[in-house]
Amino acid sequence: MPTYFLAALGNGGMAISFFIWLNFLVPHPKTPIVTFDSIAAFWGALDLIGQGLVPVALLGVALFTVRHFQSLVWNLNEFTRFRQSSAYRQLRDTNGAVTLMALPLTLAMTINVLFVNGVLFVPGLWNTVEYLFPLSMTAFVAVGVLALRTFSDIFGRALANGHFDCTHNNNFTQLLAAFAFAMVGVGLAAPAAMSAVKLTIGLSIPEINLLHQCGGGGGADPAGAGRTSDVEPGSGG
């Protein structure tokens, strides 16, 4: 079932949670998010409690990253087999097809996890971050295209049939589509908030607006996207 991707999503979310914890624990005045270099620079200034909590947070990021990719690989293999079955074709013809949005949702989380692990465990990576932002934006656009194609099939079938069975679909599963578009939108917003290159910022904001308009949401607020405090830390995260 596509909803099994949510196991990988949850582990990725936990890795990001420990990363956010580090952002509050370790000062990082020179960068918008905590990095390997900021942790190394302030390690000696941390008290005993801080020196105990930082390794715990780093271990949490590493542990849940491993769990994320273990679950992701397993789910991708199983989903490949599932797509060749009659159950997959039947699922696409029902309102339950919205569960297919769990795939782009999880892939967007994977980009976040990769970025976070890079800045935390690779010394000096932030010095080349302006080269990484276009790569992360390209990856998020690709996931966004997958999400739009998947959702257009679901929405198109509902329009063609003129019916949506609310009685049998009155659950939070139907929010997977909105969650997926929001995850990609946040990923595209991050370069606009953290980059110092005007071209990167200029490309990031229109992509956010386009994705939200195609996904049925409102346009992004450029002023809001430009504030680091309004955006989840990470390339997408």
Q: Can you give the pLDDT at residue 195?
A: 81
At residue 233, the pLDDT reads 44
pLDDT of residue 231: 41
Tell me the residue range of the domain where 223 lies: 2-230
Distance of alpha carbon 191 from alpha carbon 137, whole angstroms? 8
Q: 235 lies in a domain? A: no
Q: How many Å apart are CA 152 and CA 154, to the nearest integer?
A: 5
Identify whether 190 is part of a domain.
yes
Mean pLDDT (whole number) for 114-132 = 91
Q: How far apart are CA 143 and CA 151, in angstroms?
A: 12
Quick one: pLDDT at residue 113? Answer: 95
DSSP 81-143: HHTTSHHHHHHHTSGGGGGGGHHHHHHHHHHHHHHHHHHHHSTTGGGGHHHHHHHHHHHHHHH
Phi, psi angle pair for 120, to nearest 5°:
-85, -35
Tell me whether residue 236 is in a domain: no
What value does the mean pLDDT take over residues 141-149? 91
Q: Quote the CA–CA distance of 83 and 86 in Å, as a whole number.
A: 8
Instruction: Give pLDDT tens digits for 161-198.
Output: 766 666 666 667 778 888 898 899 888 888 888 888 88
**Residue 181 is assigned to a structural domain of this protein:** yes
Domain count, the chain: 1
Residue 217 maps to a domain: yes
- The answer to the question of residue 99 being in a domain is yes
pLDDT tens readout for residues 84-113 = 888 878 877 777 788 888 999 999 999 999
Checking if the pLDDT of 228 tops 60, the result is no
Is 41 domain-assigned? Answer: yes
- Ranking 7-16, 41-50, 166-175, 189-198 by mean pLDDT, the lowest is 166-175
88 inside domain: yes
Q: Which of 127-131, 222-226, 228-232 has the highest mean pLDDT?
A: 127-131
Query: Which range, of 22-26, 156-160, 233-237, averages the lowest pLDDT?
Result: 233-237
